[in-house]
Structure 1
Amino acid sequence: MGCTGKTIEYPFDTIKVRLQSQPHDQPLKYLNTIDCIKKTYKSEGFHGFYRGLTSPIIGAAAENACLFVTYNLTQDFIKSHVLNIPKDQKLPLNYLIVAGGFSGIVASFILTPIELVKCKIQVEHVYSKEDSTILKQIKKIYKQTGIKGFWFGQTGTLLRECGGTASWFGSYEFISYNLKKLRSPSAPDKIESTIPELLISGASAGIMYNLSLFPADTIKSKMQTSSIINPNEQLNFIQTGLKIYKYSGFKGFYTGLGITLTRAIPSNAVIFFTYEQLKKTFT
């Protein structure tokens, strides 16, 4: 489920990270999304769009397992210890959003090291012409900063995942429910979603996830690639945010948003469709 989504969206993610990571004190390497796509292909071919793919592919199973398992366990906890309702009863939307936000917080601690390695590999060739393997990049990080260095950018990941995942699950549940309500106004919970409904709900959830806290992702990407682009500069979350605002204003926090929303549609449609099919098979 997660591996399929990552493979679909990864070229878009590479472009997003390269756009987000451009230094403010140097001439821009990429003027916009199209320029970045053209230059990446010209200098690196199709391989350039997939640099660092192995890292999120390895982590995709753990990430999605963590998200969906925590989401379901949190729902069970709320039903049993907060609302005292049967486990087969649907939670109100506000509690589903809380469950989604909590699952994002838990997943953020898995995601930060994965994304740190990924982001460094995605921009390394552009600025240093190096082509590190995942193992080599892990060794570099450990040598420079030790174990704690793998969670550099955790604040950005946590904010993005907490708010983003709450929006992700919340919008999916809301749209899925209302699409079923159009077919069965009296008992939407008694029917299953059709394939088009699952795909629409999943795609919409992906859009809402990225719209909700995209600035946190921009700051995180800038932080995690700073050691390659500006080796002498090691800014924290607040300092990085202030620097982005100083040079680019509010629009600087939304660099790469367009291509990110584009990638979100197919990948999240596939993720939620696969999730629902697996849930029917194993429950």
Structure 2
Amino acid sequence: MAAKEAQVGATMTTHTTAQGKSAAMEAIEDVIYGSVAGIAGKYIEYPFDTVKVRLQSQPDHLPLRYTGPLDCFRQSIKADGVVQGLYRGISAPLVGAAAETSSLFFFERIGREVVYASGHYSRDRVLPLSALWFTGAFSGTFTSFVLTPIELVKCKVQVPTTTSTDGMAPKAPSVMSVIRDVYKHEGIRGFWHGQMGTFLREAGGCAAWFGSKETTTKMFYLLNERSAITQKEKDALATEALPLWQQAVAGASAGMSYNFLFFPADTIKSRMQTSPVGGTTQNRSFWQEGKALWGQHGLRGLYRGCGITVLRSAPSSAFIFIIFDDLKQRFPL
């Protein structure tokens, strides 16, 4: 009985519908609290994300500008200071983080409804981990269409301009100037340049994000149950939230899994989205860009910047899940 309840607790720690609460109110909570959690996580990870994009986007035909993450940090701070060098263009990513995280939790809930509607699982029983990995992939698929235009603008702002048409010192583009240039030269469709890379990263990565978090959470519930002596203690453990450090480990495992498994898709996407707008060179497709990168740098090129990305994803993802779960428990609508 306790083992079953522990399994229930593992999958109910995040966004489970409370009795008597409408689906609409649950969706509103997902959007509001997901936005807050996403913004908090973005402030933590953004400097590392800037370095990651700059490492990924170094051109093939020139010597590497940065020898590694630490060198990129050093050059960025030396050239523009901490704020401009590492937090340049954060306004759009903050909006993107709010949209991304709220969309992830919102569409994951819809994915659960799809699973229930299939008739294979009843609502009075806990979904197995395999189903929860599926709902993560479902969420990532739809969220990718929200993220691509936001990330395209972010990447173009983050990567320093290397040429200047007036002979003056290069000037970093603003969010609005990037939006105007993309629309002028490529129209609305241009904002979804790199969609294939975002789709592959989000569909696979979000399956790992939600799946790893739920799997690790379940593992902790089972381990905690073994340490309990009496049945009363076991029953109490199954209904209580995990200790904060265990919640953090579960969230961190989610972030690291998300970023490592599908990092090559993100690398190719970043290269596509940092290509010049309005030039004479035609935009490469996802597969053309990947083939060119593989031919130039091999597997190492596909994982350039992976270490720093996985490193920053651990605390960021941990904070996102902790903040989201805590807000859901403390301030139910």
TM-score by length of 2: 0.81
Q: 1:50 aligns with which of 84, 87, 92?
A: 87
Q: 2:245 aligns with which of 188, 196, 211?
A: 196
Tell me, yes or no, if the aligned pair for 1:177 and 1:189 is still in contact at 8 Å: no
Are residues 17 and 64 of structure 1, via their aligned partners in 2, closer, same or farther at CA, if it must alter by over 3 Å?
Answer: same
Other-structure match for 1:25: 61
Other-structure match for 2:206: 165
SS at match of 2:190: helix
- The structure with the larger Rg is 2
Matches within 5 A, 1:65-84: 65-84=102-121
Identity, in percent, stands at 43
Other-structure match for 1:97: 133
SS at match of 1:184: helix
SS at match of 2:274: helix
**In 2, Cα distance between equivalents of 1:152 and 1:121:** 15
Tell me, yes or no, if the aligned pair for 1:227 and 1:233 is still in contact at 8 Å: no
* One-letter amino acid of the structure 1 residue matched with residue 216 of structure 2: I
**In 2, Cα distance between equivalents of 1:136 and 1:247:** 32
Are residues 207 and 233 of structure 1, via their aligned partners in 2, closer, same or farther at CA, if it must alter by over 3 Å?
Answer: same
SS at match of 1:167: helix
Matches within 5 A, 1:134-149: 134-149=175-190
Moved more, 5-14 or 121-130: 121-130
TM-superposition CA deviations, 1:57-94 (whole Å, max 9, x none): 0122221111001112211331243324125x321001
**In 2, Cα distance between equivalents of 1:274 and 1:8:** 13
Deviation at 1:132, TM superposition (A): 1.9
TM-superposition CA deviations, 1:195-222 (whole Å, max 9, x none): 1111110011100001110000000001
Other-structure match for 2:148: 112
* One-letter amino acid of the structure 2 residue matched with residue 97 of structure 1: W
CA RMSD, Structure 1 to Structure 2 (Å): 1.8
Tell me, yes or no, if the aligned pair for 2:103 and 2:143 is still in contact at 8 Å: yes
TM-superposition CA deviations, 1:166-188 (whole Å, max 9, x none): 00000000001101111114767
**In 2, Cα distance between equivalents of 1:203 and 1:3:** 17
1:11 equivalent in alignment to 2:52: no
SS at match of 2:213: helix
Tell me, yes or no, if the aligned pair for 2:121 and 2:127 is still in contact at 8 Å: no
Other-structure match for 1:280: 329
**In 1, Cα distance between equivalents of 2:57 and 2:238:** 45
How many residues were matched structurally?
Answer: 282
SS at match of 1:125: coil
Other-structure match for 1:177: 218
**In 1, Cα distance between equivalents of 2:194 and 2:101:** 20
**In 2, Cα distance between equivalents of 1:50 and 1:233:** 30
Other-structure match for 1:248: 297
Tell me, yes or no, if the aligned pair for 2:267 and 2:302 is still in contact at 8 Å: yes
Tell me, yes or no, if the aligned pair for 1:109 and 1:154 is still in contact at 8 Å: yes
Structure 2: runs of 5+ lacking an equivalent: 1-36, 165-169, 227-233
Q: 1:213 aligns with which of 249, 262, 274?
A: 262
SS at match of 2:276: helix
Deviation at 1:109, TM superposition (A): 0.5
1:2 equivalent in alignment to 2:38: yes
- Which stretches of structure 1, 4 residues or longer, exceed 4 Å deviation after superposition? 185-189
TM-superposition CA deviations, 1:235-272 (whole Å, max 9, x none): 11011001111110111100000110111111001000
* One-letter amino acid of the structure 1 residue matched with residue 104 of structure 2: L
Structure with greater helix share of residues: 1
Structure 1: runs of 5+ lacking an equivalent: none
Other-structure match for 1:35: 71
Other-structure match for 2:12: none
